[in-house]
């Protein structure tokens, strides 16, 4: 079934996005919590719109992943980069205060928009894809 694997990625992105939003909103005090939660909504709208706009652009041939399997150090580097991005997000969320809801909404919306792009009808796996 074409596109079946994409639903798993979409669900994962939505769940992780909900966790990120909860971790941004819940630790705040009562007054800041409401303001932060309200700022998440326009951030999500802007992020999803931006993600869909980026996803609609044609892929750049040079950015496609090579057909070879990734090595262990390359995967470890990907995990380390994700940890650095999470730490940067946490520092920015602490510095921005209630405005961190807007930042989190934009980031989560952007990722949701990028993963929600429609697949081409009848498109199967690419040749030479691993």
Domain ranges of the chain: 4-56+72-115
Q: What is the 3-state secondary structure (H, E, C) of 119-130?
A: CCCCCCCCCCCC
Average pLDDT, the chain: 79
Report which of 49, 44, 28, 15 is spatially closest to residue 117, judged by C-alpha positions. 49
Output the pTM of the full model. 0.68
pLDDT at 1 over 60: no
**Strand, coil or helix: what is 63?**
helix
Interval 91-107: pLDDT, tens: 887 788 888 889 889 98
Task: Give residue-wise pLDDT tens across range 48-65.
Answer: 998 888 888 876 666 666
């Amino acid at each position: 079934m074409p596109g079946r694997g994409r639903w798993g990625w979409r669900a994962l992105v939505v769940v992780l996005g909900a966790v990120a939003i909860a971790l941004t909103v819940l630790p705040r005090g009562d007054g800041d919590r409401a303001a932060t939660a309200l700022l998440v909504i326009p951030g999500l709208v802007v992020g999803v719109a931006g993600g869909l706009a980026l996803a609609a652009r044609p892929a750049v041939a040079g950015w496609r992943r090579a057909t070879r399997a990734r090595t262990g150090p390359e995967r470890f580097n990907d995990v380390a980069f994700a940890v650095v991005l999470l730490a940067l997000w946490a520092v920015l969320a602490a510095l921005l205060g209630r405005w961190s809801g807007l930042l989190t909404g934009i980031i989560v919306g952007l990722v949701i928009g990028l993963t929600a792009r429609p697949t081409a009808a009848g498109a199967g796996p690419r040749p030479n894809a691993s």
